[in-house]
Amino acid sequence: MAWTPYTMDELDHLLKAEQANFSADEQAKFNRTQVPIRKVRCVRSPQHADDGLFVIASDGQTAIIFDDVDQEFGICKAKALDDGPVRDWGLAGSLVFALMHLK
């Protein structure tokens, strides 16, 4: 099966589904740290040097991203989002697990 990038509608639907199981505290944290969704460049490997990640939330130190290739939420340093292509991020699985890394 060939990979196809997520559309903004698909990502919006996924975010709503993930939030459906949030506790009140998790929802408050997400509401406080959520940012307008944008796509940033990333480097997966020399063969995939111009790929992208969706930025979902940030506390100023750590950002939550969505990797539509691996179809997982993850984290990276927020500063990396403005320093050219993101080169280092970690996958967390669900949005609630990624959210645990934000303050």
Computed over every residue of the chain, the mean pLDDT equals 93
pLDDT at 1 over 70: no
Q: Judge whether 55 and 40 are in contact, CB under 8 Å.
A: yes
pLDDT at 2 over 90: no
Question: Of all residues in the chain, what percent carry a pLDDT higher than 70?
Answer: 95
- Terminal C-alpha separation, the chain: 38
Residue 45 pLDDT class (50, 70, 90 cuts) = confident
